[in-house]
Amino acid sequence: MRFMHWYKRVGGAVRETPISSPTSGDEQSKRFPFGALALWAFFAFFVPLFVPALNIVDVLAFPLGYFMAAQGILIAFVAIGLLSARWQDRRAAKGP
């Protein structure tokens, strides 16, 4: 099973280390895109379901449901995109 491990000499002894050992940074980097996708799905599919119930409240002379569908969801999409771009920039700057 030499192809699954690499060996490193440390103080005269040979230590066996697996090739892919996940660290906390790797786990966090895998979770963020799924979180962004979950937020996108929430704003795209679930907020419009509540539009009739939100229309009871008025915001700037518009029903809240209409306001959320026309403006709020778009603002949320832009925020999700900006956060994703910022996350990708930080990840690229940190390196592999």
Written as six digits, the tokens of 83 are 């956060």
In a domain, 17, yes or no: no
In a domain, 76, yes or no: yes
In a domain, 68, yes or no: yes
- Among 18-22, 38-42, 51-55, 91-95, where is mean pLDDT lowest? 18-22
Contact 67, 50 (CB under 8 A): no
Residue 73 belongs to what domain range? 24-94
23 φ, ψ to 5°? -110, 175
Average pLDDT, the chain: 76
Of 72 and 11, the one with more pLDDT? 72
Q: Whole-model pTM above 0.75?
A: no
Radius of gyration of the chain (CA): 23
How many domains does the structure of the chain reveal? 1
Measured between alpha carbons, how far is residue 7 from residues 10, 21, 28, 96 in Å? 10, 14, 27, 21
In a domain, 78, yes or no: yes
| Across 46-71, average pLDDT | 85
Instruction: Write down the pLDDT at residue 5.
Output: 47
Report the C-alpha gap between 79 and 43 in whole angstroms.
Answer: 12
